Amino acid sequence: MAAFSGMTRTHTVWWSIVLLFLLAVEARAAEHRRVLMLHAFGHAYSPWSDMAASFRAEIIGRSPEPIELYEVSLDTARVQDPNDDAPFVEYIRALLSRRSPDLIVPVGAPAAFFVQRNRPQLFPASPMLILGADVRRVPGATRTEYDTGVLLDLDLPAYLTNILQLRPQTTDIAVVVGNSPVERFWTSELRRAFEPFTDRVNITWFNDLTFGEMQERAARMSPQSVILWFLLSEDAAGVPYSEDRALEAMREVSAVPIFGIGDYQMGRGVVGGPLMQTKVLGQQGADAGLRILKGEKPSALNPPSVLFGTPAYDSRELQRWGISEARLPPGSIVHFRQPTIWEQYRWSIIAIAGIILLQSILISYVLFQSRRRREAEAESALQRREVEHLTRVSVLGELSGSIAHEINQPLTSILSNAQAALHLLAQKAPDLAEVRDALEDIVHEDIRAGEVIRRLRNLLKKGERTAESVKLNDLINSTVGLLNSELIRRDINVKLELADNLPVTSGDPIQLQQVLLNLVMNAMDAMAKTPMAERSILISTRGKPTGSVDVLVKDRGHGIPALANGHLFEPFYTTKEHGLGLGLTICSTIIQAHGGKLTLVDDQNGGAIAGFSLPVQETAARVM
């Protein structure tokens, strides 16, 4: 018994759970919300299809209870014969025979009119939410206590204002509007609303054209024209156009920009502006619908009309028609903006720019450095030339007495010859041949004086290093000539052993003469204490088979002081009492610049030998 009773209890619990489960399922089934959506045209006629899509998605998505959606396409907007309502009414009643809908949602004014006409047969107690009709079409007076509407309030003049703001040069506006009853209504509304603009722009209406004609017209429109695409559900020939595909076809051929009226047209070829907001309308419709489904009284809801949102524009169209974004109203939204190169490749650009900048800085720095180096080099070259020149001047200063003598000799000769000539001419029977000789000698001596001065001028010349063919033997003769008086004064005998056919070298004759002058004068100075009879300088030249020319200046002086060894070519090192210490330094620099080497050694027989070798000038060497 106990066992049976236990058994019975277990069964009771089991069945209770099953019952509860079934009840729960039944309760859930009872909570399904039936929403009847009525479409005025078909499923796919903008803007209603867009509004419906938005509403549908919102209400299904946000409803706490499952939505059982019934959608009926009336096509009344195109047919518009109230006598044809009956089959639709029957159909809907049949569709919803088991239970009245919890909410009737006519989308667009024609659908609202249908419900209003047939309300007695169609669930008079079910609440109705009119979606997306213009407030002008379903004024409050036409609604029952079960009715409410999330309606549009289109600000028609704003469309033209927008056009004129973006394209002030506009003279013609063609309005694309179809020829269905709804569109005829809107045509008259538009004509009224656009009336104030007719003194400024010429408005043409395409409502009595077929779409093909509209396209033809659009293709030929003047540049100052625009098209306002209002609504094309059905053209004058009665051809229906769904989902605004016609808009895209129009855009293909249109010679002028196309302006639209709603967000659903965005991206299909309209420039943009203040737009009807089908998405927002769907959302707000869903808000109102959900409240009604919760039990609120429709007439109490009274939701506000949906106005234009923030003006929105299609960047591609703005670019295509050359409309500056500066003309857009402040705060406008621009869609489809092509990401700029900057937006796409920002970091690459920054990195590359950074690298380029870095490189530029480096290059600038390097250029700056090299420029500074060049300047420094130029300056040091200038200073070197200055010093070379100064040492030449100082050498010539030392020689000034002798040089004066060199000039004085020809002057003496000239004066005496001239006076001799005068004396001759004063005689009764002048010896004219002798006078002529005197005059010829004057000419000769004058040239000689000029030569001395020319040599001097050369040595005093300041200038760039030149590269000329140099005959070293000539240079040596000229140098000794310049030193002639000084050599006599110091009782120094000069012996020249100059090689015949010495190859020509290349260089700056002034600088090379400076070197020779310096070496000979050093030799002269070195022999100040040498007994007079022994004072002699030997200058010799020799061509070498290795392609160089040697010049040696040998003296019989004191030789190189032991202490001076290794310092001879250092600047400001001198063994002379009044020496500057630059002579040999400069000579060495000059010879090095000529591709040679200056040497100074003691002679085994006493005295010193200074010498240098210079490369033979290549072209000259070949000629020889």
Partner 1 sequence: MDKFTVYLVDDDAGVLKALSRLLRANGYEVKPYSSPQEFLKQHDPAVPGCAVLDVSMPGLDGLELQQALTAGGSHRPVVFITGKGDVPTSVRAMKAGAIDFLTKPTKDTDLLEAIRRAEGREAEARQRLSELEAIQAKLSTLTPREREVLTHVVAGRLNKQIAGDLGTVEKTIKVHRSRMMEKMGLRTVADLVRMAEKVQIGPYWPNGQLDGRPIPPP
Contacting positions for partner 1 (CB under 8 A): 401, 404-405, 408-417, 419-421, 423-424, 427, 434, 437-438, 441, 444-445, 448, 485, 487-489, 491, 493
Quote the least distance from Cβ 605 to partner 1, whole Å. 23
- Cβ closer to partner 1: 316 or 490? 490
d(CA 613, CA 548): 6
Least Cα distance to 509 among 473, 559, 547 occurs for 473
d(CA 327, CA 157): 18
Quote the least distance from Cβ 585 to partner 1, whole Å. 32
- Cβ closer to partner 1: 369 or 419? 419
- Cβ closer to partner 1: 50 or 406? 406
- Cβ closer to partner 1: 233 or 417? 417
Least Cα distance to 46 among 6, 21, 77 occurs for 77
- Cβ closer to partner 1: 310 or 412? 412
d(CA 321, CA 263): 20
Q: What is residue 498's DSSP assignment?
A: P
d(CA 365, CA 377): 18
Quote the least distance from Cβ 422 to partner 1, whole Å. 8
- Cβ closer to partner 1: 375 or 434? 434
Quote the least distance from Cβ 487 to partner 1, whole Å. 8
Number of CB atoms found within 10 A of residue 242's CB: 16
- Cβ closer to partner 1: 187 or 530? 530
d(CA 164, CA 196): 13
- Cβ closer to partner 1: 244 or 486? 486
What is the spatial order of strands in the sheet that 103-107 belongs to?
A: 67-73, 33-39, 103-107, 128-134, 147-152
Quote the least distance from Cβ 532 to partner 1, whole Å. 10
Quote the least distance from Cβ 525 to partner 1, whole Å. 19
Task: With both helix axes pointing from N to C terminus, report the angle between 400-426 and 472-489 in degrees, rounded to the nearest 10.
Answer: 80
Q: SS3 for 433?
A: helix
Quote the least distance from Cβ 429 to partner 1, whole Å. 13
Asked whether 104 and 124 are in contact (CB, 8 A), the reply is: no
d(CA 312, CA 317): 12
Quote the least distance from Cβ 441 to partner 1, whole Å. 6
Quote the least distance from Cβ 531 to partner 1, whole Å. 15
- Cβ closer to partner 1: 290 or 538? 538
Quote the least distance from Cβ 527 to partner 1, whole Å. 15
Quote the least distance from Cβ 414 to partner 1, whole Å. 7
- Cβ closer to partner 1: 389 or 455? 455
d(CA 272, CA 262): 8
- Cβ closer to partner 1: 405 or 567? 405
Q: For the chain, give me the number of helices (H) and strands (E)? A: 20, 19
Cα-flanking dihedrals φ and ψ of residue 111, to 5°?
Answer: -65, -40
Quote the least distance from Cβ 399 to partner 1, whole Å. 13
Q: What is residue 279's DSSP assignment?
A: H
Q: Tell me what percent of the chain is helix, strand and coil, each rounded to the nearest 5.
A: 50, 15, 30
Long-range CB contact pairs, 42-46, < 8 A, 24+: 42/73, 42/75, 42/240, 42/242, 43/71, 43/73, 44/242, 44/243, 45/77, 45/233, 45/240, 45/242, 45/243, 46/242, 46/243, 46/244, 46/262, 46/264, 46/265
Dihedral of CA atoms 244, 249, 250, 254 in degrees, nearest 10, equals: 150
- Cβ closer to partner 1: 359 or 412? 412
- Cβ closer to partner 1: 188 or 419? 419
Quote the least distance from Cβ 448 to partner 1, whole Å. 7
Least Cα distance to 560 among 542, 571, 573 occurs for 573
Contacts of 15 (CB under 8 A, 6+ apart): none
